[in-house]
Chain A
């Protein structure tokens, strides 16, 4: 079982409030630079892309490179004007796409 992403989004916010969002994706982030005991290169396996959306509209996306440490953690802010759903997407080198959603109530 792969570990699920860990997300922290406030449940509620005031209209126009800037909220803090934390995301963490459990992942080995194997850089492709390391060698195993026999001197063979360990193949690269990283999360290469992260996308954050709100109500279907992109907030931002980030390309990740091999220097990012294991379990990539991204913390960012977003201004919310309406209730809705944050959607986060992580893309693995092997094509696996993991998504996670979190609702926020805006009063």
Chain B
């Protein structure tokens, strides 16, 4: 299977794709460039979603690579007469975690079916029943709020098929019962009083962070010869000095491949070209190497190239992609980690972009696994009910560069440790 991914015998021939180079000392420059396999994919194809992740098919909605979501309606739907829904059912629906988090993820809503930990991304609706809103207005705001506010981050629950018309009517009936400020059972339940999470664990202590164990593993891999007889150590005898800052300069626009490469994809392509090792992205060996190479650059401030022509264009694309609405929930990166950053989405804290990169790859205590940044991107997509891309997708490269640039100056501390 793997043989099919790399064109058989495709030894990297370093081609400098920088156009005509009449005066460039081609030899010396070619020597400086690290060999890379420039063709083929750096991850499994067809890409298969990880075990244990939701298997739902989101192909009817936008991804970072493809536009597919249904268009926003231009007009509110006409609703004849008052809405007669079941408020009790509505109270359950607004807190239904199987509907993309539902309303309570962002709104405090009075008693809301007895559920706990509402979010505070959006207005408190505990007294919406006093607001004198028409039934039609309430229905349409839930069905697709964009008809009233094109800039809203609220998912189009009806247009995107998360709730049926009847369910939205039940929700409207519940909204009309909300006439008193929410009473919180505990201080923790009130998202405005809930303290922001602080990560205090010693992430570089192997007794605290099992992610550190992958450093030992990588050091063994470093000495392990690939199919070509060479090992990393053949050329990189002193990784501690040779890679003291390298990872902090990644990701990087790579003209030979025509995309932004993070540490993980660089390792795949470079190892294939030099030692012959098959370290596809999102395999344990690749993750271990990525942790190790980042680990070697710990303490170095992140500084990525966004100035050269190719990098600047990639950064611009990354910025644009991070504002693209994706998935059934119709969220852009910037919806959660921009407009709504530093707020609660149900019981989860939404961080701002700065601080979301310096600890990757990171150990995830809830999953007992190391995740690199691309897997984190993939989870964001699936979590907002959109199809993820393969980890080596060029769109992720652009977004990674944009994210890294927003983390400029932060010092690497890898492997991180997070829930």
Q: Does B217 contact A (CB under 8 A)?
A: yes
Task: Please report which residues of chain A, range 27-85, place their CB below 8 angstroms from some CB of chain B when the two chains form the complex.
Answer: 70-71, 73
Not counting A1-B217, A6-B206, A6-B213, a sample of 15 additional A-B residue pairs whose C-beta atoms are within 8 angstroms of each other reads A1-B220, A3-B213, A3-B216, A3-B217, A4-B216, A6-B207, A8-B207, A22-B207, A24-B206, A24-B207, A26-B210, A26-B213, A70-B368, A71-B210, A73-B207
Q: Which residues on the B side are within 8 Å of A71 (C-beta)?
A: 210
Q: Which residue of A lies closest to B206 (CB)?
A: A6
Provide the bound-state CA to CA distance between A70 and B210, in Å. 11
Q: Which residue of A lies closest to B213 (CB)?
A: A3
Which label, helix, strand, loop or mixed, suits the secondary structure of the B interface? Answer: helix
Provide the bound-state CA to CA distance between A73 and B217, in Å. 20
Provide the bound-state CA to CA distance between A73 and B207, in Å. 8
Provide the bound-state CA to CA distance between A3 and B207, in Å. 12
Which residues of B line the A interface, CB within 8 A? 206-207, 210, 213, 216-217, 220, 368
Q: Which residue of B lies closest to A23 (CB)?
A: B207
Q: Which residue of B lies closest to A3 (CB)?
A: B213
Q: Which residues on the A side are within 8 Å of B217 (C-beta)?
A: 1, 3
Q: Which residues on the B side are within 8 Å of A6 (C-beta)?
A: 206-207, 213
Q: Which residues on the B side are within 8 Å of A24 (C-beta)?
A: 206-207
Most buried by B among A6, A8, A22: A6
* Closest 4 pairs between A and B when the two form their complex, measured CB to CB: A6-B206, A3-B213, A24-B207, A6-B207
Pick 18 A–B contacts, CB within 8 A, sort by A. Answer: A1-B217, A1-B220, A3-B213, A3-B216, A3-B217, A4-B216, A6-B206, A6-B207, A6-B213, A8-B207, A22-B207, A24-B206, A24-B207, A26-B210, A26-B213, A70-B368, A71-B210, A73-B207
Interface string of A1-21 (1 = CB under 8 A from B): 101101010000000000000
Q: Which residues on the B side are within 8 Å of A22 (C-beta)?
A: 207
Whole-angstrom distance from the CB of A105 to the nearest CB of chain B?
22
Q: Which residue of B lies closest to A70 (CB)?
A: B368
Provide the bound-state CA to CA distance between A98 and B206, in Å. 18
Whole-angstrom distance from the CB of B277 to the nearest CB of chain A?
16
Q: Which residues on the A side are within 8 Å of B220 (C-beta)?
A: 1
Whole-angstrom distance from the CB of B54 to the nearest CB of chain A?
16
Provide the bound-state CA to CA distance between A52 and B368, in Å. 27
Provide the bound-state CA to CA distance between A14 and B375, in Å. 49
Provide the bound-state CA to CA distance between A24 and B216, in Å. 15
Most buried by A among B206, B217, B220: B206
Provide the bound-state CA to CA distance between A70 and B368, in Å. 10
Q: Which residue of B lies closest to A75 (CB)?
A: B207
Provide the bound-state CA to CA distance between A26 and B220, in Å. 17
